[in-house]
Amino acid sequence: MPEFRAAVSRSAGQPYTIETVTGSDLRPDEVLVRVVAAGMCHTDMVAREPNSGLSLAPVILGHEGSGVVEAVGSSVIRVVPGDHVILSFDSCGKCSACLGGEPAYCAEFPLRNVSGRRPDGTGAVTDADGHGLAHRWFGQSSFAEYAWATERNVVVVPKDLPLELLGPLGCGLQTGAGAVLNEMKPWPGSRVAVFGAGAVGLAALMAAKVAGAGEIVAVDLKQSRLDVARELGATRTVLADDPDLVEAVRGGDGPEDGMDYAVDTTAVTSAISATIAVLRRRGEAVFLGVGRGMLEIAPGQLNGRKATFVNLGGGVPQVFVPRLIELWRHGRFPFDKLVRTYPLDDINTAEADSLSGATVKPVLLIG
């Protein structure tokens, strides 16, 4: 395997460095992908926080890659060199969750997605000094010119589609949209609230519109994000610092006021609590955010209500991602309006713009 460039995170809280690294040969079940672009997700940033609890560094992050298959291992049969693919999360394909069509809850999910290594603990990429790098973040580590994936976490897409745009469908966009379309399944005319108008929240909002929700309320601290939410289908918006936030979202304090469904993407304790508080009886709250926020609630508040955490949209990427692509082709899931592209060399600027809110969904152009 020739040398290639990658953005390496060497210590928590410090800038990425662009380095030349070297990869080893493919194993029988692996797929080598030449990465064209990769979305930057909040989970990548969480992994770089000093108190994240993850000790992966030095690591190549990135888990919303898109690219072209360069080579496949001897046991791979579903993809071939030349295929255009989106990279998503990895799964074993053998546990009860995978066999039941729920790979996001795979028994080996932590091992395959957040360990930074192959399931057996080995790696395939070394730095210029010959030291190993964690390179299997969500089965891909796509902030690099090449990614070692598996047959389970590649989604083949038509070759006429713009690969530089599609990577975010592999995680953030399918997480938000899947929470609505796969888990909540709102009926036409229902009321939906979305806390957090970042990429995941806006994907949930667009999916609620696709499902025919009658009222869609977006909540965020930034007015600029709420303006985008309006453009994408929000019928009402509420600033998250409203002193009467719960009532403002519910639309009143009567017994018939409130939301049928509410989604939290922030992982902030106050927003998590509000996500349940805005529900009417028989409502459902879905949590998506990755962070340190806690669920603080009196059990009685769940009387007649449901609450759950949905991982990565709860769907099968090879089934659900093509569905989102078709919605996009028909103008019903315009996620391209969220994207701003950056060259790989500007990865630290992209991260800063995402953290400040200047960019909703940064996408790094790599190959």
| CA quadruple 61, 66, 69, 74: dihedral, nearest 10 | 50
> How many domains in the chain?
2
Choose one of 280, 311, 342: the last residue of a domain: 311
Residues 14 and 121 placed together within one structural domain of the fold: yes
Residues 25 and 126 placed together within one structural domain of the fold: yes
Residue 98 domain-assigned?
A: yes
Phi, psi for residue 274 in degrees, rounded to 5: -65, -30
Residues 155 and 13 placed together within one structural domain of the fold: yes
Residue 110 domain-assigned?
A: yes
Residue 323 domain-assigned?
A: no
Residues 103 and 206 placed together within one structural domain of the fold: no
* CATH (domain of 153): 3.90.180.10
Residues 230 and 344 placed together within one structural domain of the fold: no
Residues 251 and 349 placed together within one structural domain of the fold: no
Residue 45 domain-assigned?
A: yes
Residues sharing a CB contact under 8 Å with residue 258, sequence separation 6 or more, in sequence order: 191, 250, 251, 278, 279, 280, 283
Q: Are strands 306-309 and 279-287 parallel, antiparallel or unpaired?
A: parallel
Q: What pLDDT was estimated at residue 199?
A: 96
Q: What pLDDT was estimated at residue 53?
A: 56
Residues 23 and 166 placed together within one structural domain of the fold: yes
* CATH (domain of 273): 3.40.50.720
Residue 348 domain-assigned?
A: yes
Residue 328 domain-assigned?
A: no
Q: Kindly tell me the burial class for residue 22, based on how many C-beta atoms sit within 10 Å of its own C-beta (0-12, 13-18, 19 or more).
A: middle
**Domain hosting residue 277, numbered range:** 177-311
Residues 199 and 140 placed together within one structural domain of the fold: no
Q: What pLDDT was estimated at residue 51?
A: 74
Residues 86 and 121 placed together within one structural domain of the fold: yes
Residues 41 and 86 placed together within one structural domain of the fold: yes
Residues 13 and 161 placed together within one structural domain of the fold: yes
Residue 325 domain-assigned?
A: no
Return the closest-CA partner of residue 91 out of 125, 71, 122, 119: 119
Q: What pLDDT was estimated at residue 200?
A: 97
The whole-model pTM stands at 0.95
Residues 72 and 139 placed together within one structural domain of the fold: yes
Q: What pLDDT was estimated at residue 173?
A: 98
What is the residue-level pLDDT of the chain in tens, covering all 367 positions?
Answer: 679 999 999 988 899 999 999 999 999 999 999 999 999 999 999 888 877 656 788 999 999 999 999 999 999 999 999 999 999 999 999 999 999 999 999 999 999 999 999 999 999 999 999 999 999 999 999 999 999 999 999 999 999 999 999 999 999 999 999 999 999 999 999 999 999 999 999 999 999 999 999 999 999 999 999 999 999 999 999 999 999 999 999 998 777 889 999 999 999 999 999 999 999 999 999 999 887 778 888 888 888 899 999 999 999 999 999 999 999 999 999 999 999 999 999 999 999 999 999 999 999 999 8
Please tell me the number of Cα atoms within 13 Å of 181 on its side-chain side.
26
Residue 188 domain-assigned?
A: yes
